[in-house]
Amino acid sequence: MRPVPVCLHVFIAMLVFVVPAAANTDAADVSLVPGGGIIWGPDSGQKPGRTIGGILEFRVADPWAVEFRVHRTYRVAGGGSGFSITHGEGNLTWLLAPKARISPYLTAGAGIASDEFGWNGGPGLRLRIIDRVSLRIDGRNLSYRTHVEIAPGQVALRFRHATELFGGVSLSLGRSRAAPRGK
């Protein structure tokens, strides 16, 4: 199966579950999370790389959020072979203490990484500074399919794994629809 149809199926499945949840709550909040971090590539001898990107988060119902993530990863200059990954995913995030000032969370999702299917998952921590601003940090395993030389002159499509540490500032943009009017 080609990666685009797989990702399309994952996206449609997320919508099927997320849209009804969003319709049943007044808590749908939209946040933008610009940030960056470091990534350790698939080769253990490689120096860590840098990543820059962002997250668009829709809090559909406490404790659930749907996130769309886009990141550009590149290796820091210096010895060894390099890697470069552009990845975009749709994630489902479970906030373990959504109303607390410090909230741990778990996130997982799937998408495209360097033109092939990829998935990710890991834990994170959100620290609310004020009502609309939070700091967040998460560690994720990014797994993606890529062409790998398995023998001289032979290339095969295999899964590779990278560990990413991402930090950002979550800026709440407000509700995604008008809040109910009081009397």
In the predicted model, is pLDDT for residue 14 greater than 70?
Answer: no
In the predicted model, is pLDDT for residue 121 greater than 90?
Answer: yes
Say what the pLDDT of residue 179 is. Answer: 46
Are the CB atoms for 166 and 140 separated by under 8 Å?
Answer: yes
Structural domains counted in the chain: 1
110 is a domain residue = yes
180 is a domain residue = no
183 is a domain residue = no
Q: What is the pLDDT of residues 127-172, one digit of tens each?
A: 999 988 999 999 999 888 887 788 898 888 888 888 899 999 999 9
168 is a domain residue = yes
Residue 85's pLDDT band, with cuts at 50, 70 and 90, is confident
DSSP state letters, 105-116: EEEEEEEEETTE
Say what the pLDDT of residue 81 is. Answer: 54
Q: Which of 168, 148, 166 is nearest to 157 (CA)?
A: 148
In the predicted model, is pLDDT for residue 94 greater than 80?
Answer: yes
158 is a domain residue = yes
Say what the pLDDT of residue 151 is. Answer: 87
* Residues whose CB is less than 8 angstroms from the CB of residue 35 and which lie 6 or more positions away in sequence, other chains included: 52, 53, 54, 55, 136, 166, 167, 168, 169
* Residues whose CB is less than 8 angstroms from the CB of residue 181 and which lie 6 or more positions away in sequence, other chains included: none
Say what the pLDDT of residue 61 is. Answer: 86
Give the mean pLDDT of 112-141: 92
Q: Which of 128, 67, 72 is nearest to 93 (CA)?
A: 67
Say what the pLDDT of residue 13 is. Answer: 55
108 is a domain residue = yes
Give the mean pLDDT of 23-42: 77
DSSP state letters, 68-107: EEEEEEEEPSSSS---EEEEEEEEEEEESSTTSSEEEEEE
122 is a domain residue = yes
Cis before 42? omega within 30: no
What is the domain-level CATH number for residue 128? 2.40.160.20
Element (H, E) at 156: strand 154-175
Full domain range(s) for residue 13: 3-175
Structure tokens at 147: 């062409």
- Hey, what's the torsion of the CAs at 132, 134, 140, 145, to 10 degrees? 40
Q: What is the pLDDT of residues 67-82, one digit of tens each?
A: 999 988 876 544 445 5
Say what the pLDDT of residue 182 is. Answer: 47
Q: Which of 110, 105, 66 is nearest to 87 (CA)?
A: 110
pTM to 2 decimal places: 0.74
Say what the pLDDT of residue 109 is. Answer: 95
Chain mean pLDDT for the chain? 79
Say what the pLDDT of residue 83 is. Answer: 63
Q: What is the pLDDT of residues 44-54, one digit of tens each?
A: 566 788 899 99
